[in-house]
Chain A
Amino acid sequence: MIDVNLAEFLHSGLGIHLGTADENKEPSGCRVTAVKVEGDGRHMVAFIPRAASQRVFDNLRSNGRTAVSFARPADDRAVQVKGLMLFSWQAKPDEEAFAQSQWAGFLGQLDGIGLPGAATSSWRVFPSMAVRIKVTAVFNQTPGPDAGAPLK
């Protein structure tokens, strides 16, 4: 579902957001600092700030459906991965270090387009919760005429 090339893109330090919804179809979302695509390409772990809105965690528990949006600041190439949350845990130190490294890559990309990533130093994006997600679909989300088409 997520091949090696796409996984490499998703790991490259992107702007990542997680969308969720409650049982009344009320959406909520939060930032994601990093993802780790598993070798089978059908599962991934998303690292989300423990400080994120309680609604997001409640939605993950009650509805479980997720939409993870990835976008590269330099050219707006974007992908959306739909999935189902399987379980979550507090990130371990090595996982936290992994997430921080990927997040640093994203801040570097922000610097590259003139938005100083360092200005986001007050954000409470760590420590993280790790959320394991089963991937159900992948869509192109780059702005343009075929945004929303399934990615083959």
Chain B
Amino acid sequence: MSLGLEKLASCFQGIIPAMLYTCAKDGTPNAAYLSHVDYVDPTHVALSFQFFNKSRRNIAENPRAVVHLGDPDTAQGWALRLTYERSETSGPIFDRMFWRIEAIASYTGLKGIFKLLAADIYKVESVEPVPEEDGQPDRSAPPLRARPPDPVFTMKALQDLSMQINTADSLEHLLDSIVVGLKRHFNFSHSMIALAGEKPDTLVMIASRGYEQSGAGAEVQFGEGIIGLVAEAKKPIRISGLMRGMLNAYAAKRRAEEKGWCSAERRVPLPGLENPSSQLGVPLMVRGELIGVLCIESETPYRFHEEDKTSIELLGSYLAVAIQNMQLQQDEDQPEPPSQAGPLTSATTGLRATRRELAFYRQEEVVMLDGEYLIRSLPARILWKLLQVREQEGRAEFTNRELRLDKSLNLPDFKDNLETRLLLLRRRLDEKAGDIRLVPRGRGRFALEVTGDLELVERD
């Protein structure tokens, strides 16, 4: 006979904390909150094992337990009567729980402390409603979470987004059309795309929508936050009850700090929403190669359903191919060099005409603008090259090709991702230096527009 466990999918999102009841061999009961309960199959669930606590000791003595779960849609409580079977420290069930907990640990600076030791697998003997937690909300009561439009990923919406993407004629338009399309066709208001960075195991934010700051140029290390974890795992990660998990982790962090097990350093700054409740990160993979990560966030708990993850994973594969094709296409473009030196553009746009200092720090490969960080690595070298040419030759128009041929820039021979770096540079300039701009002039060609005077300084 079916237990009906499949119908409790909403209960496994961690929005309402689960309560685990166990009993020691001397008959003393124990009641404790549990951070994660996951669905395994129609007759099994997995419980997170993170600390050697009383519940775990009781289970070693007496394998019987009861876990109470809450349905965030209906407020109905469910009691699952369980018998412990085994612990898993690898495999898909462990991985799913592990990466979710890693994401929470990453945000709270608790990596290595707030971690999954094992996924404990229990046989579900029975499923019964918790009688005092009756789930028939009266009509005036608000739901525990806003039900997402159902279904989010319609074929029509996918088709519309696909058409929008297909009309993009540059990497910039492609990336923008993705984040705009996610809002227009799927109503995802907050999304961002990070592409593989120049340094190993890093990603660089390149496009976003729905945030006060674009975050363009922000580096994300593999393993940091959901974006870095998706890159590290090369697997999609969906987090629904993020706030509950974070509260739980912060409580553990305070205890760990008191014990001197970890420092009280600030948490890793999270690019994106200050208090995300749901996140979905999808690796953008082409033939096994990670080219970037798409992350969608929401302040609504349980915004992304299982079917959303599956659909957006497919969408991620499509986007990955589209992005890589555009990168390769633009890399292959060979425009004619400018017929004549482009005019030096200065003080023509009505923006402020002040003198600004641009300093290039050779060893760190960083450009500072009026003493503030602007950009680093290859985009910094490119900017410095452009500024020098402008100053020495009076030229303001450039081609991608001449940058590729310039050995001083030290571009890789294969897959230099030049277009991506130029786009990143353009966005950083737009955000941090509105009077210094890179303006596209057709495929593979652009101009450096400057309003006001520049003072170029090189330092070690």
Query: Contacts A66-B29, A113-B243, A123-B75 given: A144-B21 contact, CB under 8 Å?
Result: no
Which residues of A from 20 to 77 have beta carbons under 8 Å from B? Answer: 20-21, 23, 25-31, 49, 51-53, 59, 63, 65-69, 71, 73-77
Q: Are A144 and B28 in contact (CB-based, < 8 A)?
A: no
Within the complex, the shortest CB–CB distance from A79 to chain B, in Å, comes to 11
How far is it, in angstroms, between the C-alpha of A123 and the C-alpha of B23 when the chains are bound?
26
Which residue numbers of B lie inside 8 Å of A, CB to CB?
Answer: 15-17, 19, 21-25, 27-33, 35, 50-51, 53-54, 62, 64-66, 68, 75, 77, 79, 113, 130-138, 140-144, 243-244, 247-256, 259, 261, 277, 301
> Does chain B have a CB within 8 A of A88?
no
Q: Which of A51, A73, A113, A143 has the most CB atoms of chain B within a 10 A radius of its CB? A: A143
How far is it, in angstroms, between the C-alpha of A26 and the C-alpha of B384 when the chains are bound?
72
Identify 20 new A-B residue pairs, CB closer than 8 A, beyond the known A27-B23, A122-B136, A125-B132: A26-B64, A27-B22, A27-B30, A29-B19, A29-B21, A31-B132, A74-B247, A76-B248, A76-B251, A78-B251, A113-B247, A115-B15, A121-B138, A123-B132, A143-B50, A144-B51, A144-B256, A145-B259, A147-B51, A147-B53
Query: Contacts A17-B19, A25-B25, A53-B131 given: A76-B31 contact, CB under 8 Å?
Result: no
Q: Are A27 and B64 in contact (CB-based, < 8 A)?
A: yes
Q: Are A115 and B32 in contact (CB-based, < 8 A)?
A: no
Closest Cβ neighbor of A140 among chain B residues: B255
How far is it, in angstroms, between the C-alpha of A20 and the C-alpha of B35 when the chains are bound?
21
> Does chain B have a CB within 8 A of A80?
yes
Q: Are B252 and A148 in contact (CB-based, < 8 A)?
A: no
Q: Show 27 residue pairs from A and B whose CB-CB distance is below 8 angstroms, ordered by the A residue.
A: A15-B17, A19-B30, A19-B31, A21-B27, A26-B23, A27-B66, A28-B66, A29-B29, A49-B131, A49-B132, A67-B28, A69-B33, A77-B251, A80-B54, A113-B244, A116-B143, A118-B142, A119-B137, A119-B142, A119-B144, A120-B133, A123-B133, A139-B54, A141-B33, A142-B255, A144-B254, A145-B259
Within the complex, the shortest CB–CB distance from B176 to chain A, in Å, comes to 31
Q: Are B141 and A53 in contact (CB-based, < 8 A)?
A: no
Q: Are A29 and B68 in contact (CB-based, < 8 A)?
A: yes
Within the complex, the shortest CB–CB distance from A6 to chain B, in Å, comes to 17
Within the complex, the shortest CB–CB distance from A10 to chain B, in Å, comes to 14
Within the complex, the shortest CB–CB distance from A100 to chain B, in Å, comes to 14
> Does chain B have a CB within 8 A of A93?
no
Within the complex, the shortest CB–CB distance from A70 to chain B, in Å, comes to 10
How far is it, in angstroms, between the C-alpha of A17 and the C-alpha of B35 when the chains are bound?
16
Chain B hits for A26, CB < 8 A: 23, 64
